[in-house]
Amino acid sequence: MAKQKETKVVRASEAQLEEVGSKKHYWYSKPGMTDTERLNYVRVTLPPGEGHDFHYHPMEEVLHILAGSAEQWVGEVKYLLGPGDALHLPKGEIHATFNCGDDLLEFIAVLVPDRVDYEGEMTIEVGAEEPWCSIRDQA
């Protein structure tokens, strides 16, 4: 019988907090933190007016909105998402998430590389490039 991997309960107080300005990322699972080889699970909070500018990941991602209102861009298409809404982003899809409401935006992001040995960047920023740097002004 194969050895069972260690089960790790991550209490809210044990989540690894990563602050980027006023944005907060609460990591619950990632390689080196839990006994996972690829699974990245993070709860994100964005104050009103804040966002994650246009970027992509060399891996699949699922976003699930828990609270607040999101202006979600997938490529050049804008969606408005609210609590309970979710979306799947294929590997390499350019996207952005902005808090377009008056309350805190809270969502879960799950990212999974397609290879266990993946060691590159998780996020590639493109928000300073056209058409991404001006697309919201044109919408």
Asked if residue 50 has pLDDT above 90, the reply is yes
Cβ neighbours around 1 below 10 Å, total: 3
Q: Which pLDDT band holds residue 68 (cuts at 50, 70, 90)?
A: very high
Record the pTM: 0.91
Asked if residue 2 has pLDDT above 70, the reply is no
Asked if residue 119 has pLDDT above 90, the reply is no
Q: Which pLDDT band holds residue 116 (cuts at 50, 70, 90)?
A: confident
Q: What is the pLDDT of residues 89-101, one digit of tens each?
A: 999 999 999 999 9
